[in-house]
Amino acid sequence: MQKGEFLYEGKAKKIFRTSEPGLLLVEYKDDATAFDGRKKGTIVGKGAVNNQVSAHLFQLLEQHGIPTHFVELRGDREMLVRRARVFALEVVVRNIAAGSLSKRLGLAEGLVLPAPVVETYYKNDALHDPLINDDHIRVLNLATPDEVQAMRTMALRVNEILVAYLSNRKIRLVDFKLEFGISQDEGRLLLVDEVSPDTCRLWDQDTGEKLDKDRFRRDLGGVEEAYAEILRRLIG
């Protein structure tokens, strides 16, 4: 399998063609951004951590019946994935009040929610990824009602799996962002993008210490150490 033409560069990853038409190569970067790109920096080793953590969690989810785009690791910073038509949507699942939910609803950070809250955001940099509802999705023709329901159902199942798995490793899953796509070959719904300290809020179960990108957002220091700790607890 050969690395082919460069296709796209996002905030955290680069995408390349491969010699296999149905597969892409994803290269994870150390670049870090926050607040719609207004804050930029570098987290040394982040790309390797996010690549390996995502691969590990994709494999875990596959074992529990969640279809993902992951195929295999291709080194510390690269993974091979299936091509998919990605929805311009981000699905966020929240178990504990933090971040924008705390600000919007006036909830104290750390409040355990009585049930998971699912939110959907429109992936549009120019509009700053606004929170939208099912009616907005229909008007914008971003997904069908059945696709929206399937994404919600899969997101909640992913939440169940990850909460239990991470709890056994003394990590609280506060909230996380997921992205979905339709596979090119079979036309089925896949979990895509990544599942990592960049896309999840992860707190130490005993101390409440933040072990995720919030350390970068809030200038808390110890960012690299936090990412490395997540990798250690999940993979060793």
Verify that 204 and 125 share a domain, yes or no.
yes
CA distance 122 to 148: 13
* Structural domain includes residue 230: no
* Structural domain includes residue 194: yes
Verify that 104 and 208 share a domain, yes or no.
yes
* 184 within 8 A of 148, measured Cβ to Cβ: no
What letter would DSSP give residue 160?
H
* Structural domain includes residue 234: no
Q: According to the model, what pLDDT value does residue 56 have? A: 98
Query: Three-state SS across 104-129?
Result: HHCCCCCCEEEEEEEEEEECCHHHCC
Verify that 115 and 202 share a domain, yes or no.
yes
Verify that 121 and 211 share a domain, yes or no.
yes
| Total number of domains constituting the chain | 2
* Structural domain includes residue 235: no
Q: Which residues pair with 78 in a beta bridge?
A: 27
pLDDT in tens, 8-61: 999 999 999 999 999 999 999 999 999 877 899 999 999 999 999 999 999 999
* Structural domain includes residue 232: no
pLDDT in tens, 167-224: 999 999 999 999 999 998 889 999 999 999 999 999 999 999 999 999 999 999 999 9
Verify that 113 and 66 share a domain, yes or no.
no
Verify that 48 and 102 share a domain, yes or no.
no
Verify that 64 and 26 share a domain, yes or no.
yes
The helix (run of H) or strand (run of E) holding residue 200 is strand 200-204
Q: Which CATH number belongs to the domain containing residue 70 in this structure?
A: 3.30.200.20
* 10 within 8 A of 199, measured Cβ to Cβ: no
CA distance 194 to 86: 13
Q: According to the model, what pLDDT value does residue 137 have? A: 98
What letter would DSSP give residue 210?
B
* 84 within 8 A of 69, measured Cβ to Cβ: yes
Split at pLDDT 50, 70, 90, the class of 2 is: confident
Given a cut of 80, whether residue 1 has pLDDT beyond it is no
The per-type count for the chain, helices as H runs and strands as E runs, is 6, 14
Range of the domain at 184: 85-222
Verify that 29 and 75 share a domain, yes or no.
yes
Helix (H, G, I), strand (E, B) or coil at 70: strand
Verify that 70 and 95 share a domain, yes or no.
no
- For the record, the structure tokens of 15 come out as 């995408």
pLDDT in tens, 91-127: 999 999 999 999 999 999 999 999 999 999 999 999 9
Q: According to the model, what pLDDT value does residue 36 have? A: 78
pTM, two decimal places: 0.96
Which of residues 46, 68, 84 is at a domain's end? 84
* Structural domain includes residue 19: yes
pLDDT in tens, 161-176: 999 999 999 999 999 9
Q: According to the model, what pLDDT value does residue 163 have? A: 98
Q: According to the model, what pLDDT value does residue 37 have? A: 76
Within its chain, how far is the Cα of 34 from the centroid?
Answer: 14
